[in-house]
Amino acid sequence: MLAYIFWHWKRDDVDAAAYESALRGFHDALRDAPSVGLLSASCDALRGAPWACQGGDAYEDWYVVRSSADLDPLNDAAVSAARQAPHDAAAAFAAGGTAGLYRLRLGSVSVAGVHEAWFGKPAGWAYPQLYARLQPIVDGVGASLWGRQMTLGPAHEFCLRSEAPVMLPEELDPVRLLLRAVFRHDA
């Protein structure tokens, strides 16, 4: 499973309620006419992600697909047919955006999550060591661990999503984000 994660933020002259309404309009259109391979989508409001609006108020969209073969259809679907006008309306309110591609490493696929912990692999740790340390944590709280693919994207290498705050090894020094759901959809 892959997640295309898109961080974006509104223009200063745009009201947050209007921006979120436009975002819901786009996500409603995508839900009603999803692309091939789209498993779920969500949009959450957040603050404190250094890679999104310099840590200010921003939004994070997750588009979960089966494989990289589903990315082109998702990209094409987002800006065509019944989805084009809602996409363009939301995009007109945006001041900027950036994105990354993440693969599910541990846990179950879920766009639900109120808490995120973003971190990198500590120097000197091997990936098997990192996964072994995190497996009981992920299993214990029903979290999901996502790892960046091909160094695409500005965010940290890993994201642990969970419904509750998670205690992580101190060596990980995570950036912790609290999310507010704007839209969630399982295809």
pLDDT digits (tens, 9 = 90+) for 7-41: 999 999 999 999 999 999 999 999 999 999 999 99
Is the predicted pLDDT of residue 186 greater than 80, yes or no? no
Q: Which residues contact 107 (CB under 8 A, 6 or more apart)?
A: 138, 139, 142, 143, 144, 145
Is the predicted pLDDT of residue 187 greater than 60, yes or no? no
Which regions of 66-174 does DSSP assign to beta strands (E)?
94-107, 115-119, 144-148, 158-162
Q: What are phi and psi of 59, to 5 degrees?
A: -130, 150
Averaged pLDDT for residues 105-125: 89
- In angstroms, the CA 97 to CA 87 distance is 14
Is the predicted pLDDT of residue 173 greater than 70, yes or no? yes
At 93, which CATH number?
Answer: 3.30.70.100
Q: How many domains does the chain have?
A: 1
Q: What does R_g of the chain's alpha carbons equal in angstroms?
A: 16
The domain in which residue 126 lies consists of 2-186
- In angstroms, the CA 184 to CA 62 distance is 9
What is the per-residue pLDDT for 112? 66
The string of pLDDT tens digits covering residues 143-167 is 999 999 998 899 999 999 999 999 9
The string of pLDDT tens digits covering residues 48-95 is 999 999 999 999 999 999 999 999 999 999 999 999 999 999 999 999
Residue 5 in contact with residue 52, Cβ under 8 Å? Answer: no
What pTM was computed for the model?
A: 0.95
What is the per-residue pLDDT for 111? 52
Q: Which residues contact 140 (CB under 8 A, 6 or more apart)?
A: none
Closest to 165 (Cα-Cα) out of 178, 182, 156: 178
What is the per-residue pLDDT for 109? 82
